[in-house]
Structure 1
Amino acid sequence: MILGLTAPDAGTVRVCGTDPHRATENGLVGAMLQNGRLLADVPVGTMLNLVAGVCAHPLPVAEVIERADVAHLLRKSTSRLSGGEAQRVRFALALLPDPDLILLDEPTVAMDVETRRAFWERMRHVAAEGRTIVFATHYLEEADQQAGRIVVLADGRIVADGTGEEIKAALGGRTITLAGSADALGDLPGVTEAVVLEDGRVRLAVTDSDAVLAALFAPDGPATRGEVHDVAVAAPSLEDAFVRLTSHDRATA
């Protein structure tokens, strides 16, 4: 809807003070779509120059190439790009119109850790120039680290809106992770949920971490008896908040 590719069922959409079609035509919006197709079987450099030719006020292609770090890909055919390389080329295309708003759809899919870090470093420089960047991601740690504002959606409705810290603080409590049997841990004072993780460790959602720790390490407690070990206390992660928010929303919808 922001790009003008589909119409809302109700209401209206305004982008940069105008309608989406006009905003896109005027180069106010750039987009990096997860599955956006590139022109097939052409060198990357040729494609960038072709697209720049239809932009209202494009950034210099040489500047885009440097910012997107695609200089080594210019002679490579678009049909022979790896997943991570294709994502960088899509980023270059999003920059070409010199937009005020950049939309990123799952931007770091298929990128390795080093490439992902470099990508977000470049995005911070782009944002520092005054551009607004909106990105959709399922990497919640990435959202927590990079986003100044996070909107959590469940079944098409907003269930949380704020900074990562605000959303996690609204969840409240602490989490305690430990190794050992999950039996009876859910009955400890202050424990609201006990979840067995994929690695076999147990994560406890708690309202009073001090009370739980006191019970764990009491003279007859599980830790004293050697039933649990490697106990760690932490504030809730954005993933914890996301699961709680979306699960509650579905349960009450």
Structure 2
Amino acid sequence: MDRSDRSTLATLRGVHKQYGAVHALRGMELSLRGGELLALLGPNGAGKTTAIALLLGLLRADQGEVALFGRDPQDIVARRHIGVMLQDAQLPPTLTVGELLRQGASYYPAPREVGACAVVAGVDDLLRRRYGKLSGGQQRRVQFALALVGNPRLLFLDEPTVGLDLQSRQGLWRAIRQLVAEGCGVVLTTHYLEEAEALADRVCVMAGGRIVSEGSVDALRARVAIKRVRCRSRVGAEEAAAWPEVVEAGIEGGHLWIATARLEDLLRRLLAADAGLDGLEVRAAGLAEAFTEITNAARADAARAEAALEEAA
């Protein structure tokens, strides 16, 4: 296997999927590439789970094309090249970690060495422990090791760091970055937007069964008009929050921070209120602000379209 391959590994083209009257996907277009981490973000009901289930061969599209390594996702030849870490996993509690990994490896023609998987996932000291006796965070790391054991070219991670402490989360991030550097493609779904911001090469934001924004983290942040101002000031957060230019305000580490879409107006008002402020910083919006603005705009567009249809009828 060429681990430096950065070609397209999987695609959704014009995919529709409906559950009764609910349209889960509406003409979905998505490509997954080797050596890249794609963060697939969106509010509940946006269609993320359905899109991934189609790529894993767990569902069939009503319309459109789904390909995994150029094959039908239900083809066993294609499925042997993926690894999956789901949010909810039920594993035999009486088996040891080593037994689980060896069992997982037995399903693949060219698995990754069990000990190496354990080291990457940080569970090499747990190999003799029974899975059912582990903490929730330890079980999540074992599930990550199991996702790696088939030596995948494409890895699906669904909320991988839920239940992990900060040290374990950072260790998992390092492991994911290393896999991407080796040429593995990674699809990440997470509600921790700082996780997507730290890891993603490309972000796709979904709403209403479609991708409504796609690009690098920096590109998505640049689309958002909101800026974040931080300073030391005698102005309080409650006072600042009442100003018309302010979206949100708070105190963090002894500093006043303000989110605004009218930066120049805010700075004039802030300096008029406290000419002695210092440590002034202005930052672009984070991914969290970008995500909120993009999804709100998508909902507003959908509501206007629905109203137009009702009016036409």
Q: For 2:98 and 2:280, locate their aligned partners in 1 and report how far apart those are by CA, in whole Å.
A: 54
Quick one: distance in 1 between partners of 2:197 and 2:154?
A: 20
Q: Look up the match of 1:29.
A: 82
Contact 1:149 1:163 in 2 (8 A): yes
- Are 2:112 and 1:59 aligned? yes
| TM alignment of 1:36-185, pairs within 5 A | 36-176=89-229, 179-180=236-237, 181-182=239-240, 184-185=242-243
Distance 1:204 1:114 in 2: 30
Q: Which residue of structure 2 lines up, in the alignment, with residue 10 of structure 1?
A: 63
Whether the 8 Å CA contact 1:24–1:30 is kept in 2: the answer is no
Counterpart of 1:134, as a letter, is V
Partner of 1:214 in structure 2? Answer: 268
1:241 corresponds, among 246, 270, 290, to 290
The answer on whether the counterparts of 2:96 and 2:129 sit within 8 Å (CA) in structure 1 is: yes
Q: Which runs of 5+ in 2 are unaligned?
A: 1-53, 303-313
Structure with more strand by fraction: 2
The CA distance in 1 between the partners of 2:260 and 2:76, in whole Å, is 46
- 1:39 Cα deviation (Å)? 2.0
In structure 1, stretches of 5+ residues that fail to align are none
Distance, in Å, in 2 between the alignment partners of 1:86 and 1:249 is 37
AA matched with 2:139: A
Q: CA-to-partner distance for each residue in 1:134-185, whole Å, 9 max, x for gaps?
A: 1111111111111100111123221210000000011135223573314651
- Contact 1:15–1:23 (CA under 8 A) maintained in structure 2: no
Residue 24 of structure 1: CA displacement?
6.4
Distance (whole Å) between structure 2 residues aligned to residue 8 and residue 197 of structure 1? 46
Partners of 2:112 and 2:150 within 8 A in 1: yes
RMSD, matched Cα: 2.5
What do residues 25-46 of structure 1 show as CA deviations (whole Å, max 9, x unaligned)? 6511111111121122211111
* Percent pairwise identity: 34
Q: Classify 1:24/1:172 alpha carbon distance in 2 versus 1 (closer, same or farther; 3 Å).
A: farther
Quote the offset at 1:62 in angstroms. Answer: 2.1
Distance in 1 (alpha carbons) for counterparts of 2:116 and 2:230: 47
TM (normalized to structure 2)?
A: 0.70
Q: 1:50: how far off?
A: 1.4
79-88 or 228-237: which moved more? Answer: 228-237
> In the aligned structure 2, how far is the partner of 1:185 from the partner of 1:148?
37
Summarize the Cα distance change of 1:115–1:241 in structure 2 as closer, same or farther, 3 Å threshold.
same
**Helix, strand or coil at the partner of 1:40:** coil
Distance 1:70 1:204, change over 3 A: closer
Measured after TM superposition, the shift of residue 120 of structure 1 is 0.9
Q: Cα deviation per residue 1:67-92 (whole Å; 9 max; x = unaligned)? A: 22211111111112212111111111
Tell me if structure 2 keeps the 8 A contact 1:175–1:235: yes
